[in-house]
């Protein structure tokens, strides 16, 4: 883990990035451009909407991620499970699933665990989006514990579409302390500068979801 005052280089940062395109008006041509840029930037993965799958001619150096129950999380469990399973069939290596915040805020912990576990059974690697900006610290901890109990691989801060906002250093630090080495922590939503990206990594983020990847990496030290 990178601590305060430890600069993360361009290449190191790139290997933590899911280069993301989740715009509602994105076309298949946009996805192909995203993949070409991702290859040149040396990032870890590309993340696109399920309707953009499969992605042709994806380099072996890139993982393919997609989203599930996005962005509201208010889909039924059966729909989320079906969406995740189809995405994997169409080539997705990783799925970023949005939880139902209403269940969490109503204290229905077991229902959150059951839904996450049901999706987890369909995918090779699952990231659980908790919309940390919309949660209290206690709720963030509970959401992380539910994701861990359900067998998720990562907890993720945000969709980037919630009115409450995106990633924060505080949320990432709290999520990292809660899951320890058991799960990864993905920060996403509003990451547009190298300084912010580096601060999130120093706070414990092990993956970053960004669409402004080229600008962020251009400002990173070699």
Residues designated catalytic: 96, 156, 186
Q: Collapsing DSSP states into helix, strand and coil, what is residue 51?
A: helix
Cα separation of 192 and 117, whole Å?
A: 32
Nearest of 201, 210, 217 to residue 6 by alpha carbon: 201
User: Parallel, antiparallel, or unpaired for β 63-68 and 94-98?
Assistant: parallel
User: Residue 163 burial (CB < 10 Å; 0-12/13-18/19+)?
Assistant: exposed
Distances (CA, A) of 103 to 40, 153, 194: 41, 21, 35
Sign of the four-CA dihedral 145, 69, 100, 196: positive
């Amino acid at each position: 883990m990178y601590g305060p005052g430890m600069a993360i280089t361009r290449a190191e940062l790139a290997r933590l990035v899911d280069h993301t395109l989740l715009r509602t008006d994105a076309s298949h041509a946009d996805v192909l451009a995203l993949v070409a840029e991702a290859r040149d930037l040396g990032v870890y993965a590309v993340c696109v909407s399920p309707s953009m799958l499969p992605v042709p001619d994806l380099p072996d150096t890139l993982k393919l991620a997609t989203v599930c129950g996005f962005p509201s999380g208010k889909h039924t469990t059966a729909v989320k499970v079906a969406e995740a399973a189809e995405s994997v069939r169409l080539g997705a290596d990783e799925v970023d699933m949005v939880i139902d915040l209403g269940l969490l805020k109503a204290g229905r912990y077991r229902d959150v665990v059951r839904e996450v576990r049901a999706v987890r059974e369909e995918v090779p690697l699952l990231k659980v989006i908790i919309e940390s900006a919309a949660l209290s610290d206690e709720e963030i901890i509970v959401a992380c514990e539910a994701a861990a109990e359900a067998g998720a691989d990562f907890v993720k801060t945000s969709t980037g579409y919630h009115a409450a906002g995106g990633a924060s250093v505080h949320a990432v630090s709290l999520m990292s302390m809660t899951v320890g080495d058991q799960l990864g922590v993905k920060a996403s939503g509003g990451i547009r500068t190298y300084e912010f990206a580096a601060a999130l990594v120093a706070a414990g983020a092990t993956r970053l979801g960004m669409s402004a990847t080229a600008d962020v990496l251009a400002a990173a030290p070699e």
